[in-house]
Amino acid sequence: MNRKRSIVNAVLYFFAGLWTFMTIMPLFVTMLSSVKDNDQISLGMFRWPVTFFWSNYLDAFTIAHMGRAVLNSIFIASASTILVIIIGMLAAYILARKRFRILPVIYSFFIVGVMVPVHTTIIPISSLATFFRAKDTYWYIIVVYMAFNLFQTIFLSTGYLRGIGRELDDAATIDGCNDFTLLFRILLPICTPIVMTEAILSFVYGYGELIFSMILISDETKYTISRAMLTFRSVYQVKLGPIFASIIVAVVPMITLYMFFHEKVQAGMLQGAVKG
């Protein structure tokens, strides 16, 4: 029995080590490439740099203005995430706790929204931006990001709330709580794991999205990180070193965010799988 357990543990450790290697290696290669020029990268991305081009990071901050782009991305992603959580929880509360006949139909529309490919909406979204003169504005791209994350948030939150007993609602109502008090002071703390999961997913999407930022933003002062990285690409040449340096600069906030909240994200996924 002990021998069989040892074999199983050895296999598990092997695959865990392999997964760790596959996860860390791209980041390691990116860090190596961020201090190389095009010639050294072409000779081999895995080779140790012959000459370190630390100027790539200087180019990332001075030419692509990655510092400003990171702040723009954080602002847009944070604003869209806050709106997604607030509106999503309000909608999920109605869908999960109320008994109106039309609610199953409305919920079905949200389910359909989850399945709509995002990029099929590029033309209508661009047309609306032109109509409302909303290009190069923060509020419009925030609304777009919020809209595409709202369906998923409502779907997950509704399933989670349905798994919470209605006895809490009855007790809160007897104590004089209205719907807003019940949601934000009683149910929301219980839903912290799934809320954190939704917040991380929404933030990651808003932080790294490229297609809509290309279409809706042409003002260099409002570039997001994905849009700013295209600064080093021209018709005849692509400066790979500064692009990799920009990737490292952009990844640092995400790694920091994950280090602080990874336990809550994992807990939310596990509990959501049980309650949903």
Considering 136-150, 230-244, 247-261, the range whose residues carry the highest mean pLDDT is 136-150
Confidence of residue 236 (pLDDT cuts 50, 70, 90): low
The CA dihedral of 270, 160, 90, 146, to the nearest 10 degrees, is 40
Confidence of residue 275 (pLDDT cuts 50, 70, 90): very low
Poorest-confidence range of 24-38, 74-88, 115-129, 164-178?
Answer: 164-178
Residue 196, pLDDT score: 85
Reported as a single tens digit per residue, the pLDDT across 68-77 is 999 999 999 9
* Angle between helix 66-97 and 103-115 (nearest 10): 150
Which carries the bigger pLDDT value, residue 169 or residue 55? 55
Residue whose C-alpha is closest to residue 135's, from 220, 227, 217, 224? 217
User: For residue 107, what are the β-bridge partners?
Assistant: none
Say if pTM beats, i.e. exceeds, 0.75. Answer: yes
Residue whose C-alpha is closest to residue 232's, from 219, 221, 245, 222? 245
Which carries the bigger pLDDT value, residue 3 or residue 239? 239
Residue 45, pLDDT score: 81
* Angle between helix 192-208 and 138-162 (nearest 10): 150
The sign of the dihedral angle between the CA atoms of 2, 5, 10, 16 is negative
Separation CA 89–CA 15 (nearest Å): 38
Q: Which residue is listed with tokens 């994350």?
A: 149
How is residue 50 annotated by DSSP?
S
Task: Compute the half-sphere exposure of residue 269: CA atoms within 13 Å on the CB side of its CA.
Answer: 7
How is residue 149 written in tokens?
A: 């994350």
A 10 A CB-CB count for 237 gives 9
3-state secondary structure of 52: coil
Residue 272, pLDDT score: 47
Which carries the bigger pLDDT value, residue 243 or residue 268? 243
Task: Compute the half-sphere exposure of residue 20: CA atoms within 13 Å on the CB side of its CA.
Answer: 6
Taken in order of first residue, the domains within the chain and their CATH numbers are 54-275 (1.10.3720.10)
Residue 273, pLDDT score: 44
Residue whose C-alpha is closest to residue 191's, from 107, 77, 93? 93
Reported as a single tens digit per residue, the pLDDT across 140-163 is 999 999 999 999 899 989 988 988
- The amino acid at 34: S
Reported as a single tens digit per residue, the pLDDT across 204-217 is 899 989 999 999 99
User: For residue 238, what are the β-bridge partners?
Assistant: 233
Residues in the chain, overall count: 276
Beta carbons within 8 Å of 194's beta carbon, 6+ residues apart: 156, 157, 160, 268, 271, 272, 275
Residue whose C-alpha is closest to residue 143's, from 125, 122, 120? 125
Residue 255, pLDDT score: 82
A 10 A CB-CB count for 3 gives 7
Supply the DSSP string of 193-238, one letter for each residue.
Answer: HHHHHHHHHHHHHHHH--HHHHHH---GGG--HHHHHGGGB-SS-B
